[in-house]
Structure 1
């Protein structure tokens, strides 16, 4: 029986937590997660706060500037007794860490843990959330939303600490989440910085992390018509629905899965992106199955 993992940007809502505990999955890789509702407290385990809350390792530089450092996090949630989860405690981006730590360079962008079970070799899971960052005031930029590739590259730098050899077979990593980037974007795409988005996927490949999509047809439904700024033959599957629109109108993919080359052959992914599957968030769920071996 495969280990069932779900990746989901839950938009700091309570309803997705209730959906998760009814799914019969083992582990959730969440993004933009706030506190879980009290009625599911006995069915979820988010690990120690040190594994996700950067208030625990940051200095107090932010006090007096912001009411809080951040309020929505990447989290890894244990949802069944079929697996064991060992969370990595977050520390500042130092050069040497202990066995149970991960050095983190972006606030609220990453969480990591080791998953093991009687039916599969242990592997590292990483929940990724590429936060939007505003350009420096000196640029006087008109980019209202900002840019996400900066956060994505910080995430890649942090997770690359789990790669200690050029041979991908020496590591077993599953990384998934909301990267706020467009896979395969063409240079005329009006929504993203296409050339910068491409560097995110190129860097993952260089680290020996295989791109698993999800991609159509097996990985979910495509948008129809093809969104502007993507090639006509794109196999992207929409995973994000703009506020005020229905899931059937969702057009763009922001959520992706990667796994170590070799290990990736044991991993299957699918976006639950049909209107009836979508769920109570602006992102759909990504279902990930890790086969025995």
Structure 2
């Protein structure tokens, strides 16, 4: 059996929910998801609020600081009856969560579930969103957007809870999402923090999580090669800038990882041609997991 997974940053837009329903996928790993529109809610199962909403476990400390902690979230979504989904409830970063819980150290950065195909082995599915964080005011930094590598490292720390052996082949983990990083960026890339970002990919590798891509030819490349990437880059754009269109996309921000060994059963393709891009500023990643 092939389990069909779509990974997509939907930018809190309503239109992608209808597109998800038309794709024939079994599971969606979403980032920046807002409320499910009423017309789609009856056909989509997002699990309990405890699996995605950090307000549930992390609300007291921010009381009185601002109106809301966050308004968009990573989700693991069930789209078909070909699979069962067992969501992990989020709790704070404690040392010994219960069997149906996952300890989370970042707000709005991760959602996790066990996916059980009707005819195949189960696997852990994780939706990742490396949120931008701004430098402390004491730095007087000019980085107005901030940095995403700190969020990514928090995600990796949380992922580590599902790794209980030095042998990666004992794990079946699929982790995908928007890391807000440019894979393989050269040191002169002004849109990245290359040295810092490389530590994220190195750490994934050290945990036995293989980088799956997508990489060309599993997606359309930007032409010409964007500044700040090596000439032999295999990156495929997955995001276009505000006010632009898919035709102008040149940055890859979305990626897929899988446990070493299990990764041989996983394929991914970026749906990044203008004709199939979809209604978000990020394109969809189509992932197939063989039984």
Q: Which ranges of structure 1 fall in alignment gaps of 5 or more residues?
A: none
Shift of 1:156: 0.3
Kept after mapping to 1: 8 A contact 2:57/2:92:
yes
Which residue number corresponds to residue 173 of structure 1?
A: 173
Which residue number corresponds to residue 250 of structure 2?
A: 251
Which residue number corresponds to residue 53 of structure 1?
A: 53
Q: What secondary structure sits across from 1:188 in the alignment? A: coil
Which residue number corresponds to residue 226 of structure 2?
A: 227
Shift of 1:120: 1.6
Q: What secondary structure sits across from 2:269 in the alignment? A: strand
Shift of 1:118: 2.5
**Cα separation, 2, equivalents of 1:186 and 1:250:** 19
1:276 and 2:275 equivalent? yes
Kept after mapping to 1: 8 A contact 2:112/2:124:
yes
Which residue number corresponds to residue 154 of structure 1?
A: 154
Instruction: Write the deviation string for residues 20-61 of structure 1: whole angstroms up to 9, x where unpaired.
Output: 011110000000000011111111000000000011001412
Q: Aligned runs of 1:92-241 on 2, under 5 Å?
A: 92-217=92-217, 219-241=218-240
Q: What secondary structure sits across from 1:182 in the alignment? A: coil
**Cα separation, 2, equivalents of 1:59 and 1:116:** 32
Shift of 1:180: 0.3
Moved over 3 A (4+): none
Shift of 1:64: 1.3
Which residue number corresponds to residue 70 of structure 2?
A: 70
**Cα separation, 2, equivalents of 1:89 and 1:285:** 26
Instruction: Write the deviation string for residues 190-229 of structure 1: whole angstroms up to 9, x where unpaired.
Output: 1111101111100000000000000001x10100011110
Q: What secondary structure sits across from 1:121 in the alignment? A: coil
Kept after mapping to 1: 8 A contact 2:88/2:112:
yes
Which residue number corresponds to residue 36 of structure 2?
A: 36
**Cα separation, 2, equivalents of 1:118 and 1:42:** 21
Instruction: Write the deviation string for residues 41-98 of structure 1: whole angstroms up to 9, x where unpaired.
Output: 1110000000000110014121211101110000010000000000000000001111
- TM-score calculated relative to the size of structure 1: 0.98
**Cα separation, 1, equivalents of 2:117 and 2:147:** 38
Which residue number corresponds to residue 265 of structure 2?
A: 266
Kept after mapping to 1: 8 A contact 2:84/2:118:
no
CA RMSD of aligned residues (A): 0.6
**Cα separation, 2, equivalents of 1:240 and 1:53:** 25
Instruction: Write the deviation string for residues 249-276 of structure 1: whole angstroms up to 9, x where unpaired.
Output: 1001000000000000000000000000
Shift of 1:243: 1.4
- TM-score calculated relative to the size of structure 2: 0.99
Which residue number corresponds to residue 11 of structure 1?
A: 11
Instruction: Write the deviation string for residues 104-148 of structure 1: whole angstroms up to 9, x where unpaired.
Output: 000000000000123220100000000000001111100010000
Q: Which ranges of structure 2 fall in alignment gaps of 5 or more residues?
A: none
Shift of 1:244: 1.4
Shift of 1:248: 1.4
What is the total number of aligned residue pairs between the two structures?
A: 291
